[in-house]
Chain A
Amino acid sequence: QQQVKQSPQSLIVQKGGIPIINCAYENTAFDYFPWYQQFPGKGPALLIAIRPDVSEKKEGRFTISFNKSAKQFSLHIMDSQPGDSATYFCAASILGNQFYFGTGTSLTVIP
């Protein structure tokens, strides 16, 4: 059973575009929602995270939008660059006891 559903599976945007990756969850006990970026052959790296009492969080070019009532959250990458080409995973956790990952989105930013 997939605790966190992620879409799309892959995404191609032009440089400067704003890719949006969406995730949905069912368990309302989740209290922490991080996004990770992973390059081939490397471990995931934390990009940005949000807690359910906040509807939006920005860090640099990355923004998380959180809709608690819809149980959805999304990642927006502003002014995307070729260097942003990677796989992105959303995740959810309850007090850090376990992290449930989405299925991943492969992003390609075309120069």
Chain B
Amino acid sequence: GAVVSQHPSWVICKSGTSVKIECRSLDFQATTMFWYRQFPKQSLMLMATSNEGSKATYEQGVEKDKFLINHASLTLSTLTVTSAHPEDSSFYICSAYPRGRYEACTFGSGTRLTVV
């Protein structure tokens, strides 16, 4: 089955620094990856859709200069939280599926970001 690896699983950073989160599809090529943010006891909120070789599509209200997404290969997408602030603390999750097989959409294990 489709496997998505997300790293790191948790990170603590100081306010003002940047943090990079990686999302890898291990056994398939993913032309599209999704990035979500989840607050405690809440649903997943789609932040952006990451397309290999092109600019990511951001959802309304998501600052693209703050949440930089790079999808440089068919197996790797990265989310960089720039100049992080405490309000950016959240659970970030990626998902991906093999080309044309969205029924195999798989989620990463998530990254808990804490900005102090």
Contact = CB atoms under 8 A, between A and B. Distances in A.
B41 A106 contact: yes
Contacts of B110: 41-43
A106 B42 CA distance: 10
Interface of A: 32, 34, 36, 41-46, 49, 89, 93, 95-96, 98-99, 101-104, 106
B108 A43 contact: yes
Which applies to chain B's interface (DSSP): helix, strand, loop or mixed?
Answer: strand
A102 B43 contact: yes
Given A45-B107, A101-B44, 17 more contacts: A32-B103, A36-B107, A43-B4, A43-B6, A43-B93, A43-B107, A43-B108, A44-B93, A46-B105, A96-B103, A98-B34, A98-B46, A98-B49, A101-B43, A104-B41, A104-B42, A106-B41
Interface in B51-105: 91, 93, 95, 97, 102-103, 105
A95 B34 CA distance: 14
Nearest to A104: B43
Interface size class of B (residues with CB under 8 A): 20 to 34
10 contacts: A32-B102, A36-B107, A41-B110, A43-B95, A43-B108, A44-B44, A46-B105, A89-B43, A96-B102, A103-B43
A110 to B, nearest CB: 20
A49 B6 CA distance: 24
Contacts of B109: 42-43
A70 B75 CA distance: 39
Counting from the closest, the 3 A-B pairs by CB-CB distance are: A96-B102, A43-B107, A43-B110
